[in-house]
Amino acid sequence: SFGGICSKRLNTGLVTVKNYGNQLPQRIVHLTLAHELGHSLGSFHDKTEQCIPLESSSLTRNNGNFLMYPSASDGKGYNNDKLSPCSIKYISKILLAKKDKCFQESGQPICGNQLVEEGEECDVGYNNADPCCNELSCKLKPGKECSPTQGPCCNSQCELVPSGQSCRNETECALEGYCDGLATICPDSLPKAKYTLCNQKMRLCLNGKCSESLCAKHNLEQCTPDSQSIKEECHLWCQTPGDPLTCFSSTSVFLHQFFNSTLLPLPPGSPCKEKQGYCDMMHVCRLVDDDGPIAKLKNAIFNPEEFEGISDWMKANLWTILFGILILGALMSSTVFIFGKRLDSGIAAQETELQSF
């Protein structure tokens, strides 16, 4: 069972910003964090048809799956950042049971948490040696203009840095950021040109984020092939927007004018198989096992339903089992007879040699 709020254990979540060594899109990181927080608030994975639109015949299936779906999401579906009715039901139970015990908002800034909140000028935690900020009141010290805790555009001398000084590194999709000399925060970076290649030239930039498929450059949308091949799933397929009958591989003659019949692998970590798996480093679709191998082994050993299934199979195949036992017994008897006879011969030979002395 999940831990989460009010739990003294099972109360920690872990989210990575990289997958197979590649930086994940910011949107995916945000959704993954929200998904884990959903667990902390008491929600299980969505498993019923009511809460999994993509696996239903509902007219809203194109809106995508909800936040607590167990497998991959590209973050573009209308439902991808929303809780399903199932999740809301789970979380409501937890909040009703525990909110009055520990899940209470203070309503006041907490001086010392290293977050500059409303009513605070700075917050350096419990660093009483900070030259700019009073750690007890979270106010600037007399004569100090700012604190580096307010943003990267304040230096260690407690002064605003001059306009034009770098405060954010250039990324694949955004230009370098520069201070404006007026505020401590770093102004938003200007995005690079629309559809600039990014993520090892496997995706495109849009509005400063590496988020678009290569299909978008040609007014197409990425699609999933109607194929059982786990390798085809992890290469680029594009279609005319909204028309799955036009879903073709980048190697197809229908898309030759755009991709020159080149086989284009999807970035490792991309969703595949109707968003039920991820592409690995070998560009093979690996289906996600919600329980994991350890849980499956545990269920196979301790689950009463598994025992019932084994019992039913044994009853239905009684003669097969008996025949197998007889064959195994015969093999064991033959092995003992053959090796036992050789052992007796060896002992007899040794006794003969000893008698000769």
The least confident of 7-16, 65-74, 155-164 is 7-16
As given in the structure block, the two tokens for residue 116 are 């500059």
Grade residue 104 by pLDDT with cuts at 50, 70 and 90.
low
What average pLDDT does range 326-334 have in this prediction?
A: 87
pLDDT per position as a tens digit, 54-79: 776 665 667 888 999 887 677 778 88
> How is the chain split into domains, by residue range?
18-98, 111-190, 217-287
- Residue 95's alpha-carbon distances to 5, 44, 164, 285, in angstroms, are 9, 14, 48, 38
Determine the Cα–Cα distance for residues 139 and 142; give it in Å rounded to an integer: 9
Q: Catalytic amino acids?
A: 36
The least confident of 139-153, 166-180, 268-282 is 268-282
CATH of domain 111-190: 4.10.70.10
User: Which residues are known binding-site members for Zn(2+)?
Assistant: 35, 39, 45
User: Which residues are known binding-site members?
Assistant: 35, 39, 45
